[in-house]
Structure 1
Amino acid sequence: MPELIAPVLACLAQQAGSEVHAFWITGADELNELAPAELLAGCPFDTRGALHASQQALLGLPSQQRQQKVLAFAQQQASGKAVVIG
């Protein structure tokens, strides 16, 4: 999975370390309440309760599509603009 993470980390390079950490583990409206780490990995955190079907569908996407969604979200976060990523 490092090949999936590298472009996202590059996008977040100018962010403070604590912001990068929060980015990875915080559920986001733009990602259907999934955390970027969950979406990129394709599986929910062990501590997450039941998933909605739409969340399951996102987690079931091919890795490159999941990466594109997380990368788009990272770019949006880095620019400070709010956008819904479908």
Structure 2
Amino acid sequence: MHEAGVTERILEVVLEHAKEAHAKRVTDVYLDVGDESGIDTDSVELHWPLLSEGSVAEGAALHFNKTTDEPFKFRLTSIEVDEPGD
């Protein structure tokens, strides 16, 4: 169940960035994941549709950049939005 909490936190950060951008819809979410971070990306992907349902991030694709440079790293690197606001 750890990844449900991780996924909730990802969504919170994504929604904060989307709000700042006045985005109507988030299309893509990019994350760096260290190979020793302990994050099960398959589980995050499994939780994402349910947790993001009804938000501007619903339907957004998750993209994981797996890295060995920073083995414990786990962070949002960027989001892409459709129909950014003014």
Q: Greater RCO between the two (CA within 8 Å, min separation 6)?
A: 2
Name the TM-score, length of structure 2 as normaliser.
0.33
Pick the structure with more helix per residue.
Answer: 1
Pick the structure with more strand per residue.
Answer: 2
Name the TM-score, length of structure 1 as normaliser.
0.33
